[in-house]
Chains A and B, each alone.
Chain A
Amino acid sequence: MLYLILVIVLTAILTFYRVIKGPSLPDRLVAMNCIGVMFLLVLVLLSFYFERKIFIDVALVYGVFLFINVLIMAKYLRKPWKGGVGD
């Protein structure tokens, strides 16, 4: 079980390369979403490793707020249209 968590954290460090060297903003956003879901899996697996059921609630709350985060970033960080008609 612990080797699985180690491999997933190493995978997240590999994915962080795309956040550092992304040409544009959506690339960094996709990489951020992937690292967030990997950390959610780490939280669920740590709950099974320590055998305490309350840690799953942490994972649930974290998943909800990760989804809201990506939506807020995609709405407010986008540049307006060239015609200036943007919502």
Chain B
Amino acid sequence: MIDFILSIRQLFVFIFFITGIYFLLSTAVGLIRFPNLYTRLHAGSKCLMAGGISVFMGCIVLEGISFVSLKLIVIMIFLSITNPVTIHVIASFDNNYNLIPKTYTKEDFEK
């Protein structure tokens, strides 16, 4: 019975790590091959976070219930909160998408 539970745990760890490798590789290939800035931002936000979350989940399953897994959960929640903020800040780096904010009137741009 104990061997059965151990083998199930090894299987889950293996699956999580394989999916993590796949998403990280797709991040690198996407950043190289995509033609535009905004499409690169798509690859840099979604695939990267999916790979990170799956690697962290594999580590948590490998560790079990202890303080180390709690610390890993804290890192994971911090990463998943701050990555959209980072992507949004980089996306508003240069305003090239024909958006003029409404707070500036047209006379301000004429000056």
| Interface positions of A (Cβ within 8 A of B) | 4, 7-8, 11-12, 14-15, 17-18, 24-27, 29-31, 33-34, 37-38, 40-41, 44-45, 48, 53, 56, 59-60, 63-64, 67, 70-71, 74, 78-79, 82-85
Q: Are B32 and A74 in contact (CB under 8 A)?
A: no
- Cβ proximity bits B37-78 to A, threshold 8 Å, 1 near / 0 not: 100110010001001100110010011000010011011001
Q: Is B86 an interface residue (CB 8 A)?
A: yes
Instruction: Kindly list chain B residues whose C-beta atoms are within 8 Å of the C-beta of A37.
Output: 48, 52, 79, 83
- Cβ proximity bits B9-27 to A, threshold 8 Å, 1 near / 0 not: 0000000010011001101
Cβ contact of B55, chosen from A29, A41, A64, cutoff 8 A: A41
How many contacts A-B (CB < 8 Å)? 111
Count class of interface residues, chain B: 35 or more
Q: How far is A48 from B18 in the complex, measured between Cα atoms in Å?
A: 17
- Cβ proximity bits B85-98 to A, threshold 8 Å, 1 near / 0 not: 11101110110000
Instruction: Kindly list chain B residues whose C-beta atoms are within 8 Å of the C-beta of A26.
Output: 37, 90-91, 93-94
Instruction: Kindly list chain A residues whose C-beta atoms are within 8 Å of the C-beta of B31.
Output: 15, 18, 30-31, 34
Cβ contact of B94, chosen from A4, A7, A78, cutoff 8 A: A78
Q: How far is A85 from B107 in the complex, measured between Cα atoms in Å?
A: 12
Q: Are B41 and A11 in contact (CB under 8 A)?
A: no
Q: Are B17 and A4 in contact (CB under 8 A)?
A: yes
Q: How far is A78 from B94 in the complex, measured between Cα atoms in Å?
A: 7
Cβ contact of B89, chosen from A12, A64, A71, cutoff 8 A: A71
> What is the minimal beta-carbon distance from A76 to any residue of chain B, in angstroms?
12
A63-B79, A74-B93, A78-B93 known; A15-B28 Cβ under 8 A: yes
